[in-house]
Structure 1
Amino acid sequence: MAAPPNVPHPRGNGSNAKAVDRLFGAAKTFIGNRRELEAEPFKRLLDGWGTERVELPPTTLPVLESLDGTLANSCAATVDLVELLVRDSAHLNWRQTYDDSDPAGAKLLERYGWTELVGNKGPLISRRLRLGFVIWGPNTFYPPHAHLAEELYVVLSGTGEWARGDEGERMRCPGDVFLHSPQMFHSTRSFAEPVLAMYLWRGAEDLLEKPHFRG
């Protein structure tokens, strides 16, 4: 079973607010430089995310053992952001959405996790936007699920198989940007290398809504 999200990170310290600010600035610049039309609404939300913030303690998860390996599998467009995330990972609050009772299964809990910069619970508080990073360890399947929020993904490291709606599976590489419409079922599968992505959510009344699984 995965370490619970409130387990303190052994290398964390009081500089997590600085790490959040560094990563938010880098992520905002990265999205601001993207030319994809799908990114435009999220750019505006990043400019006006809000002003309230809270301090969240650094935590760790088993999948973070795979994080160092993401540098080698990034691309020229994403390597700087990946490097910053790897460097500051010990100062971040890493979480999971599921537990052993969910259809995703206990196996997934050992092989995935996410950290959020902007969202309902902070550290930068917004009820209109979520921005964070998610990692899947090698040989991991995140089964088809859907939620009310519209979701933008940017693959930062690792080539994996992604499916959305009725499109079927498609290999996605570092630098790829794509959108999941509200209530569109989507899934992710990693292979020999971990997959790291940045996500942005918008458009749902409750941005922390738990996804529902197909079937």
Structure 2
Amino acid sequence: MSERLIDQPNWIYLLREFETLYRYGSAGGSPAIRSHRKKVREELSRIIGGNPPLAEREPAGKPVTAHFSRALDTGERGSMQGMARALREQRDRLTWEYGYEKVPPALARKYAYCEILGPRGPILWDRLILGFVLFAPRTTYPQHSHSEIEESYISVSGAWSENNAAVYSPGSLILNRPGDEHRITTGDHEPCLLAYAWAGPPEKLGDPKMKFTAGRRQA
């Protein structure tokens, strides 16, 4: 008999940390962010109550995961300590990947993401994706966008900027609407760990066709 969410409480604890972020964090007066937060937490309530099946994947690292311990350490010392501690409990079960067919060699050393909930698991769900993305210090994540997918990032540790418009610290949330072009840069001295949520049609979440914007490359 296949395992379900209730059989692995550490995954539940991690999902509840996401639920806490999207329930109690501020929308900053933005109707779009308020709507996105509601969408994510309502779906999370359905997930936790629905007890979905698990499909554990083979754990895998990438060069950037050499910075993971440092990112968790700094996260545990700040406002995101609950999320950082819950993630540490699952660190040996994460599958880090790139998500692109072609990744510039310099970026391949400085970036990777891991999905914890979504169409490919380990927690199987087709209407929401949750995960984490890790950046090394002094990383530029090239310009890109997502078709029909609404995306939010919440910083767990480290400072980062999107489109050179502001500096975001742990606990900060930024929302990218479908089609929004965005580019991420990180600070000079510390890695940056972001939690993310993707909301969109199941067919798009199952095959997002990630690609960088034509003509844009890592600086």
Q: Is the 8 A contact 1:141 1:188 kept in 2?
A: yes
Task: Report how far residue 175 of structure 1 moved.
Answer: 0.8
**Residues 94, 212 of structure 1: CA spacing in aligned structure 2 closer, same or farther, 3 A cutoff?**
closer
**Residues 114, 52 of structure 1: CA spacing in aligned structure 2 closer, same or farther, 3 A cutoff?**
same
Task: Report how far residue 18 of structure 1 moved.
Answer: 4.9
2:210 equivalent in structure 1: 211
- The within-5 A match list for 1:150-189 is 150-163=150-163, 168-189=164-185
Task: Report how far residue 20 of structure 1 moved.
Answer: 2.8
Determine the C-alpha separation between the residues in 2 that align with 1:54 and 1:80: 25
Unaligned runs of 5+ in 1: 1-15
Percent of counterpart pairs with the same letter? 26
How many residues align? The count is: 193
Letter in 1 for 2:81: V
Letter in 1 for 2:11: V
Determine the C-alpha separation between the residues in 2 that align with 1:117 and 1:87: 13
Task: Report how far residue 140 of structure 1 moved.
Answer: 1.0
Is 1:52 matched up with 2:43? no
Deviates more, 1:38-47 or 1:77-86: 77-86
1:108 equivalent in structure 2: 107
Structure with the higher helix share, 1 or 2: 2
Which structure 1 residue ranges, 4+ long, deviate > 6 Å from structure 2?
none
TM-score by length of 2: 0.79
Secondary structure at the aligned position of 2:90 is classed as helix
Task: Report how far residue 72 of structure 1 moved.
Answer: 4.8
1:3 equivalent in structure 2: none
Determine the C-alpha separation between the residues in 2 that align with 1:55 and 1:18: 14
CA RMSD after TM alignment = 2.1
- Name the structure, 1 or 2, with higher relative contact order (CA <8 Å, separation 6+): 1
Unaligned runs of 5+ in 2: 1-6, 28-33, 215-219
TM-score by length of 1: 0.81
Is 1:78 matched up with 2:75? no
